[in-house]
Each structure stands twice: as structure tokens, then as C-alpha cells.
Amino acid sequence: MTTREIRIEDYDYELTEDRIAKYPLAQRDHSKLLVYEKGAIAERHFYDLPELVPQDALMVRNNTRVIRARLEFRKETGAQIEIFCLEPHDPSDYERSFASEGGCEWKCLVGNSKKWHDGEVTLENEQTKVKAKRVSNDGETSVVRFEWDGGKTFAQVLESIGELPIPPYLHRKTEEKDMTTYQTVYSCVKGSVAAPTAGLHFTEEVFWRLGEKGVKIDDVTLHVGAGTFKPVKSETIGEHAMHGEVIEVRRQTVEDLLAHRGKVVAVGTTSVRTLESLYYIGVRLAKRNGGGETELDVDQWEPYGEGEAVGDEEALRAIVEYMDKRGTDVIRARTRIMIAPGYRFHYVNRLITNFHQPKSTLMLLVAAFVGEDWHKIYDYALAHEFRFLSYGDGCYLVKN
């Protein structure tokens, strides 16, 4: 069976409502931690993590920050229109879009869309008044133009009138404490509409102890899109379209990957997807013939093509050379990479993650990492009262 022929129903398990953590623990690092290594399972707490990570390892985390992406507008008729901001359209760069004053355009999901054929909708409070107009609609997403007065940036507008989106499977409204608990303690680059939840367990104390042990901490950025909650509705994963997400990696991280082969710990599936995407970017750069621009975006099926003639280290060195020639210390691209059973991991050999929804692409990634033992891991977690999904407990998985 090829990877595209994998049936998503084979990655199902029974997750009852009572196993989904609706709220986080009072202390982030007191969550339970399932440890999997060499086929064996042990149970610890997250604050034990520094004892488990190898000395002189490289830990890579995603520093994206969740934005207040949900906006509740009203038409003059009283109809409520929910606009969910996904990613900037014009300007398309996150930093420039957040710095925009007076107006900008975003790709959005629109709720109650049938009641908004044309015209403007308005949202205002005591500090801010925003008008929105739909510019285009492709059936799934819309481009919406926002306009406002008062000299505020779009980042300030969202902070003023937006709502932080929490996962739909929590079946509750966003509460004030979610503003803090649904952000990692190291989040700093605005752009996500969902948190990289494996990082929610970390505290400054845990990072300090990792540093004392000699573990190097690097940041990458992947802005998590709403597609992270998109279920696989097709029978086989070959018919499922992965969502694209913006990634940003600095030269220092590429060099650190070269220096820490065999000791790379990824915090969360988003960090895995970012680091593994680097290989395919490096392959293109290594194979190009002399000049011209090279397309850097990674397609979802790229890992399952015709062999991998470029070595892992050669791919990273090609990226360093590319950045040197352009006088930059950062590489940016979009990735739609699909990591599923049959995938060969290039850089990540340890993974910190949460317990994911059944029949999801995140379950496929975990199964690709640990093989058929994913059944054993999830059966253990269900039998030993682990808490599931975004606010739930964590795993520390070591690749065999």
C-alpha cells in the first residue's frame, strides 16, 4: 500500500467527550507526560522533561502567537456575520499587514455567509469602529477588506475588537483566562489562529533547567491555520488537500541542525512540519542549475516522489549557501507537507506532542513517527486517565 492509499479509518480510536480537557491545569508543567522509547511506555510529569532530554540536544519550538482572529459583525438588518481571519492578502506579509493603518485585506472564513451577499458590515466598540466588505469568494474562503479610522494599526484593531479563537471541540466560549493559557510562554510572532499546543506545557522553570543541562533552544515560526482542525473526510488520504502554512527559519537554526544530528527534539507537530520541510527546500536549492529563482514552497506529496538523491546535510548546506548569496539570515516559504506512514524523517528524532483527534492528519504524523505502536500509546493513555487534545496532557516520543 502506498502512502496515498492509506485509509483514514485505520487511524481512528474512541474518544469520548469526558476525555477532552476543557480547561488546562492550574500549573502548566504539572500535566502528565507519557514517555515512549524503544517500544516501552512510562508515565511522568511534564516538569520531569529536562531529565529525559539528552545533554547537548537541540530543542526547536514554534514561537507563533495566536491572534484575536474571530470578529462578530452585524448588518443593518441585524443579521450577525462572523468573519474569521486566516491570513493576510494585501499586504500579504504578516508584519506589514499588522502594521497597516486605515485598511487591509485578509483571506477569511465567513459564517452566516448566505446573509452577506454584498455591502458593508460594521463592528464597533467604544475605542474602535471597523467596516468590512467582501472583495471575492472562492466558495471556501473569502477575501475581505477591512477599513477603520483613528490611526490604529490592524494589530491594535484586532486586540480591541477581536476574539481569541479556541478549538471548536471545546464546545464553549472563549474566556478571559484563555487569553493567557492558550498562548505559549514564549509566543511572540503574531499570526496563528490556533496555538501550537504541545508548547502550552512549558514554563520558564522548565526552560531554565533544560538550559542548565546544555540543551540549546531554537525558535522557528509556523503560523497555524484553521486547517489544523480540518477533518479528513475522504476514505483515503490521497484525496485530502493539506492546508498551506507560512514558515520562517533562521540561518542559526539550519546550522544548529547540522551540529546536532541525532539529538533534535521538536516541540509539537508544527515544529516537525517546519523542520522536515527544510529538507525539500534544500533539495530544490541543491539541484538547481546555476541561476534564476527557485520555488521554495513545499507540496504535500513532495516527500513521496522519486527517491531522495540529496543527503540530509547537503540539503541544509544548500539552504545556508542560498542565504549567504542573498545576504539574509532567514528563509521563508509555505508548506503543505503531508507526513504520514511511509515518510522518512530527516532531522527530527524526538517529539513532544499532545494527544490528537482521531482520523486527523496529526494522528498520521504520530503514526509515521512511532509506527504501529501508536495504538499501544493511545490505548495506554485512554486506560490511564490521560487528558486529550489542546488543553490535555503530553507525550515525549523517541524515534526508534
pLDDT band at residue 309 using 50, 70 and 90 as cut-offs: confident
pLDDT in tens, 125-150: 888 899 999 998 887 889 999 999 87
Mean per-residue pLDDT of the chain = 93
What are the cell numbers at 25? Answer: 491545569
Q: Which three cell numbers stand for residue 234?
A: 475522504
Share of the chain above pLDDT 90, in %: 83
Confidence category of residue 289, pLDDT binned at 50, 70, 90: low
278 pLDDT higher than 90: yes
Q: Which of 170-174, 247-251, 288-292, 310-314 has the lowest mean pLDDT?
A: 288-292
Residue 82 is predicted with a pLDDT of: 93
Mean pLDDT, residues 250-279 taken together: 97
pLDDT in tens, 348-376: 999 999 999 999 999 999 999 999 999 99
pLDDT of residue 137: 86
Q: What is the pLDDT of residues 64-108, one digit of tens each?
A: 999 999 999 987 777 789 999 999 999 999 999 999 999 999 999
Q: Which pLDDT score is estimated for 158?
A: 95
Query: How far separated are the first and last CA of the chain, in Å rounded?
Result: 22
Give the mean pLDDT of 334-342.
96
The per-residue pLDDT for 316 is 97
Please tell me which residue, 119 or 273, carries the higher pLDDT value.
273
Confidence band, pLDDT 50/70/90 cuts, at residue 113 = confident
Q: Walk me through the domains of the chain, giving residue ranges and CATH numbers.
A: 3-65+182-398 (3.40.1780.10), 68-163 (no CATH)
pLDDT average, residue stretch 258-263 = 94
CA distance 199 to 33: 13
Strands (E) across the chain are located at: 32-37, 40-45, 58-62, 64-66, 70-74, 80-90, 103-111, 120-124, 129-137, 142-148, 189-192, 216-222, 245-250, 264-267, 330-335, 350-354, 394-398
229 — pLDDT class (breaks 50, 70, 90):
low
Beta bridge partners of 134: 144
Name which of 399, 398, 395, 397 is nearest 33 in CA terms: 395
Residues in the chain: 400
At residue 291 the predicted structure's pLDDT band, cuts being 50, 70 and 90, is low
